């Protein structure tokens, strides 16, 4: 009898713990909200300043520094990663990633990955509003002239939303610390690689890439919030009832007198 009572009490504590974890997963913490607010302020400041300045102080120097590395292999790597994540290939990448997420993680994750393509519409709208011109061939080496405005970088925007969401899934879904950290690190390298490639190829100023990362991080935060809202409750085997406010135990789980 005593062992059954202890077992019931432990089960009730597990239910309470699951509820607490579920409540934490359903929203953003105060620290996270402050971080998002700071990020929104930086993104807005970048967009407003870029509307009046064709480039920021230090943009030209940093772009020339990135392009000073002369290597045939590096040229190919930078062109390849930009080609893979640009134009019609970007939505194909998102669809393939969504299918992989559905197979490996589930339907909710697949929907969130598919929603990352909406970031392209947001970045295109911001480019029209900001109206900053791209770098010109008289200032930097332009490997291939591209149409459209410059800030935010669409490649960087999509990179941090798409690959960043996969990195978030790696941290929250994968089992095993080594696999989790290895996958996360690899995805972060891809995000940085894409951003650097846009400067190396003369398609964007460094501040354009920073703007793409910053604005994209806000979009990514909204997807993380949705994931926490949609995450199903942890199965406990029993349907939770009302919790006693004093003891933290459901009346049905309290030991019999």
- In angstroms, the CA 234 to CA 135 distance is 51
Residue 93: per-residue pLDDT: 93
How does residue 24 score in pLDDT terms, banded at 50, 70 and 90? very low
pTM of the model: 0.78
Within-domain flag for 46: yes
Residue 242, in any domain of the structure: no
Helix, strand counts (H, E) of the chain: 10, 0
Taking residues 36-46, what's their average pLDDT?
Answer: 93
Residue 126 is assigned to a structural domain of this protein:
yes
Name every residue whose Cβ is closer than 8 Å to that of residue 185 and which is 6 or more positions away in sequence.
Answer: none
Domain of 205 in residue numbering reads as 2-232
Number of structural domains found in the chain: 1
Q: Is residue 238 part of a domain?
A: no
pLDDT for res 229? 84
Per-residue pLDDT at 94 exceeds 70: yes
Assess whether pLDDT exceeds 50 at residue 104.
Answer: yes
- Rounded CA gap, 123 and 137, in Å? 24
19 inside domain: yes
pLDDT in tens, 120-163: 899 999 999 999 999 999 999 998 888 888 899 999 999 999 99
The mean pLDDT value for 7-32 works out to: 52
| Residue 246 belongs to some domain of the structure | no
pLDDT at 232: 56
Res. 209: pLDDT tops 60: yes
3 state SS for 10-45: HHHHHHHHHHHHHHHHCCCCHHHHHHHHHHHHHHHH
Backbone conformation region of residue 142, classed left if phi is above 0, alpha if psi is from -120 to 50, else beta: beta
19 pLDDT tier (thresholds 50, 70, 90)? very low
pLDDT tens readout for residues 42-51: 999 999 999 9
- Residue 62 binned pLDDT confidence (cut-offs 50, 70, 90): very high
The whole-chain average pLDDT of the chain stands at 82
Confidence of residue 27 (pLDDT cuts 50, 70, 90): low
**Above 60 in pLDDT, residue 86?**
yes
Alpha-carbon distance values, 58 to 63, 200, 205 (Å)? 8, 15, 10
Across the range 209-216, mean pLDDT stands at 95
pLDDT of residue 49: 94
Share of residues in the chain with pLDDT > 70 (%): 79
Residue 247 lies in a domain: no
Identify the pLDDT of residue 26: 53
The answer, yes or no, to whether residue 10 has pLDDT greater than 70, is no
């Amino acid at each position: 009898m005593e062992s059954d009572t202890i077992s019931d009490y432990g089960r009730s504590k597990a239910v309470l713990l699951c509820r607490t974890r579920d409540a934490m997963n359903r929203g953003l913490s105060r620290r996270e909200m402050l971080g998002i607010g700071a990020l929104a302020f930086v993104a807005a400041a970048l967009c407003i300043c870029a509307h009046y300045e064709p480039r920021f102080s230090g943009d030209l120097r940093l772009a020339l520094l990135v392009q000073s590395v002369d290597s045939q292999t590096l040229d190919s790597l930078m062109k390849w990663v930009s080609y893979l994540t640009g134009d019609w290939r970007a939505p194909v990448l998102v669809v393939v990633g969504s299918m992989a997420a559905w197979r490996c993680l589930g339907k909710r994750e697949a929907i969130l990955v598919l929603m990352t393509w909406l970031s392209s519409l947001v970045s295109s709208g911001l480019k029209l509003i900001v109206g900053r011109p791209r770098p010109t061939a008289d200032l930097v080496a332009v490997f291939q002239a591209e149409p459209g405005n410059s800030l935010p970088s669409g490649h960087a925007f999509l990179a941090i939303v798409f690959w960043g969401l996969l990195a978030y899934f790696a941290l929250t879904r994968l089992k095993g610390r080594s696999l989790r950290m290895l996958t996360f690190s690899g995805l972060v390298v891809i995000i940085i690689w894409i951003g650097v490639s846009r400067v190396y190829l003369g398609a964007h100023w460094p501040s354009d890439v920073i703007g793409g990362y910053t604005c994209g991080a806000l979009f990514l935060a909204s997807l993380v919030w949705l994931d926490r809202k949609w995450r199903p409750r942890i199965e406990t085997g029993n349907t939770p009832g009302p919790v006693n406010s004093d003891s933290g135990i459901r009346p049905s789980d309290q030991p019999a007198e």
